[in-house]
Amino acid sequence: MRITLVSTYTHPIALGMRYVSSYLKAAGHDVQCLFMSSKRDTARADFSQAALEDLIERVRERDLIGMSLMTNTFHRACALTERIRAAGVKAPILWGGTHPTVAPDESIEVADVICVGEGEEPTLQLVEALEAGRDPTGIGSLGFRAGGPFGAGRLIRNEVQPLERDLDDYPFPDYELETHWIAARDGLEPARLDNLRGTLHRLRIETTRGCPYPCGFCNNAALLKVYRGKGRWVRTRSADNVIAEVRQARACFPTIEAVNVVDDLFFVRSEEEIEDFAEKYARQVNLPIELDAFPNTISEAKVRSLSRVRIALISMGIQSGSRDTLKNIYNRPTPIEDIVEGMRVFKEYRIPTEYHYIVSNPYEPERNVIETMRFIADHHERAAVLRVFPLMFYPGTPLYERAREDGLIGQRDEFAYQYMYTGGLQFAKHDYLSVWLRLTLHLRNVGVPRWLCHRVIDFGTARPTRWLLDHKWFTPTMYALWQISRKVFRNLIYQPFIRPFKYLRRKPRYEELHPEDEVTLPRNNMAAATAREREPAAREESRARRRAAGPQPTARWTVPDVNLHALRRRGVVLAAGSAAESEVGAKGRVPLHTLATSSN
């Protein structure tokens, strides 16, 4: 079948969609991926007219259209779906990703089909049913809109399928650039190493799936409910399988200079597994690597093993320094002692770190916020990357349900749909104490002594100070001062006096040369097209010039010719020398039903 997968995210990573694409391609189907990237700090559908027109032309003759979305790209997905239907495209539209999983009722009102949870196998089963002319409405994990194209007179929501245990069986994500297209101002451009905005400079890789902790603010709590009784939730890939993916990517794309592990819980592995991974990674890859850590899973032995690897960054979610907030509001089983121990171990082994906090929580008493400020003053001892996020009520999370019951939000938290985690939003949702918490973090980050930080906290929380400053104008004023100070430091101090000496010993990394392309704060930095380039012939000429000028792959990334995972699911085994194996070798990718027939 001919399938088009559309990413609604502002950055062309879309790792989950790449897995689905690879799974379908390896099963013998024709798949193209369209990455509808956009500007930084927006959840709006601000696609260019040329990109939308190219999108319509590319999906017009397809048999199925899939879209991947999160809550903050919901409006973008709605706009694309509406535009496709208005153009008269007949193909059914399937939504998948986090938002259809945690907010299925809202999603099924728009899409023809939704996929709840992991999408590789359910999507393939849908494609097989459509190709064979069978009724697909009984496929597990899928939901079908009432009155949609499948003749369902009522809403259909099927139970999710059991979880897949062996992640090593899955094909690697799809990086076949010749079938990928990127949104730009003058239309959809063929994917290149220099227009993927760092996707193949800093390789994102998934080594585990699932998280066992039902934190009240995290959509993982919703996923745990969805998959209860459906198999083991936390699953890991083997070290050999992970390293094979990185090595294949490096062999194809010379631009890769770092690896970013996107797992919730890389450290969930045992100390022996971490040691095995570190030894193999250091010997076979040895690229800088970024990891996430949950405080409960950190041990000195694990960090000691990883210290032999080139650690670029370890990110740890602290969220709060208050026991009451962690236990009774966030339902986060994290002892303060484990957080402090993790920070100590990172310091001892000189690991670059990033720490996350959540603020502006209407359920958190002020005394708990002040307790977190005291924690920061006492325990932050070295420079780190700091991220302070306002609490968002994401659909399906326990705090979302609580906020709806208490009337704090309506049917949904509009901030979660309309904004992304950027500096402007963070300050927009900061309350008075959140500003002082952020200030305390930055003071400790630049080495201000503990005692002085405590005095700053005393001053900021004192009754006279609050009487004078705790007003609506305080947060926007502090935000303006923060922006001005950043610009002054960058332009008058960093650029002329620090940056020239920073790269004397090494060349700058991609993200240092192009900070606007970072996935955490994605920005569309594509140059504006000239009027002449907007003409179709000139557009193609311009694209050809850019393709020739930029870095080129050294080898072609290839998806496997056969989907072994899908075959095993269907009880098909390819024996050495069998007719089915010969057919794969002779024809390349062939549909699964052909292989099933050949093997019988």
Average model confidence (pLDDT) across the chain = 88
pLDDT at 527 over 50: no
Least confident window among 18-27, 42-51, 141-150, 373-382 = 42-51
Answer whether 44's CB lies under 8 Å from 18's CB. Answer: no
| Pairing of the two strands 235-236 and 208-209 | antiparallel
Token pair for 562: 């056969």
| Pairing of the two strands 311-319 and 289-293 | parallel
Q: What pLDDT score does 41 carry? A: 60
Q: What is the pLDDT of residues 163-208, one digit of tens each?
A: 999 999 999 999 999 999 999 989 999 999 999 988 999 999 999 9
Least confident window among 244-253, 298-307, 477-486 = 477-486
Answer whether 3's CB lies under 8 Å from 126's CB. Answer: no
pLDDT at 491 over 70: yes
Average pLDDT over residues 252-257: 95
d(CA 119, CA 34): 18
Token pair for 494: 């960093």
d(CA 389, CA 400): 16
The closest alpha carbon to 136, from 114, 117, 118, belongs to 114
pLDDT at 33 over 80: yes
The superfamily in CATH containing domain 2-175+531-567 is Cobalamin-binding domain (3.40.50.280)
d(CA 384, CA 386): 6
Q: What pLDDT score does 556 carry? A: 93
Q: What pLDDT score does 375 carry? A: 97
pLDDT at 578 over 70: no
For 39, 55, 179, 438, 540, the CA distances from 33, given in Å and listed in that order, are 19, 11, 6, 40, 19
d(CA 547, CA 552): 8
pLDDT at 549 over 90: no
In sequence order, which residues have a C-beta less than 8 Å from that of residue 323 and are 6 or more positions away? Answer: 335, 336
* C-alpha radius of gyration, the chain, whole number: 25
pLDDT at 221 over 60: yes
The CATH topology of domain 196-467 is: TIM Barrel (3.20.20)
d(CA 6, CA 38): 13
Average pLDDT over residues 106-121: 97
**b vs e for 400-434, b when ≥16 Cβ sit within 10 Å of the residue's Cβ?**
beebbeeeebeebbebbbebbebeebbbebbbbbb
Average pLDDT over residues 56-76: 96
Average pLDDT over residues 57-83: 96
Identify the residue with better confidence: 424 or 50. Answer: 50
Domain ranges in the chain are: 2-175+531-567, 196-467, 570-600
Q: What pLDDT score does 531 carry? A: 35
**b vs e for 540-567, b when ≥16 Cβ sit within 10 Å of the residue's Cβ?**
eebbeebeeeeeebeeebebbebbebbb
d(CA 117, CA 123): 11
Q: What pLDDT score does 509 carry? A: 67
Report the percent of the chain where pLDDT is more than 70.
85
Answer whether 319's CB lies under 8 Å from 356's CB. Answer: yes
d(CA 100, CA 114): 6
Q: What pLDDT score does 497 carry? A: 82
Q: What pLDDT score does 353 carry? A: 95
Backbone torsion region of residue 447, taken as left when φ is above 0, otherwise alpha when ψ lies between -120 and 50, otherwise beta: left
pLDDT at 535 over 80: no
Answer whether 376's CB lies under 8 Å from 444's CB. Answer: yes
Least confident window among 321-325, 464-468, 560-564, 594-598 = 594-598
Whole-prediction pTM value? Answer: 0.89
Q: What pLDDT score does 493 carry? A: 87
Q: What is the pLDDT of residues 275-304, one digit of tens each?
A: 999 999 999 999 999 999 999 999 999 999
539 pLDDT band (50/70/90 cuts)?
A: low
